[in-house]
């Protein structure tokens, strides 16, 4: 039994290791909307957030929860467009970087701009994971793992409830 627990712990540590770092070109020039040059923080009280977000959104975005896999409205969205933070509308990902991960959550191999994503390490499951948050409102989005496709090798595994989708035809 101790060997099994040790093997699981080693595997989890391997999966949670620091993502690959490469020189990648962010796709901000390919985005069909104006991107903010500066990000002014959005700071609100808990009561303000509760009045603006529904119960599930508040749980995931403000309390760092997770929606059930395959339950969100965007995990299998195949339309062209921009994915924004549901809480503050900062553009975060494009459909061009979305891929089918099989996890039941929307997955992307890179954000629009690295400055739009804030990272932190959490230990909520007993091992380190890299949490990703919106850089503007610090809303919880999901986690990033080092098992994604090229060119980055990253998988940004994001809760649907943390995102809004802007169709490419209405993005301008």
Peptide bond into 151 cis (omega under 30): yes
One of 88, 134, 137, 157 is an active-site residue; which one? Answer: 157
Paired residues of 143 in beta bridges: 131, 157
| Token duo for residue 64 | 């760092």
Residue 37 CA to residue 19 CA, distance in Å, equals 26
Neighbours of 73 (CB within 10 A): 12
Angle (nearest 5°) at CA 88 between 139 and 69: 50
- Our answer to whether residue 17 is catalytic in this structure is no
Neighbours of 169 (CB within 10 A): 10
Q: Give catalytic residue positions.
A: 157
């Amino acid at each position: 039994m101790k060997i099994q627990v040790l093997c699981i712990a080693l595997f989890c540590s391997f999966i949670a290791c620091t993502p690959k770092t490469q020189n990648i070109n962010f796709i901000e020039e390919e985005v069909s909307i104006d991107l903010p040059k500066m990000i002014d923080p959005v700071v609100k009280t808990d009561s303000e957030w509760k009045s603006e977000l529904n119960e599930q959104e508040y749980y995931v975005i403000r309390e760092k929860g997770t929606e059930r896999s395959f339950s969100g409205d965007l995990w299998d969205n195949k339309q062209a467009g921009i994915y924004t933070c549901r809480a503050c509308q900062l553009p975060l990902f494009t459909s061009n970087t979305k891929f089918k991960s099989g996890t039941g959550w929307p997955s992307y191999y890179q954000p629009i701009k690295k400055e739009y994503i804030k990272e932190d390490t959490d230990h909520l499951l007993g091992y380190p994971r890299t949490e990703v948050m919106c850089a503007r409102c610090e809303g919880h989005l999901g986690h990033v793992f080092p098992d994604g496709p090229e060119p980055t090798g990253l998988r940004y595994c994001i809760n649907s409830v943390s995102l809004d989708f802007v169709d490419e035809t209405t993005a301008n």
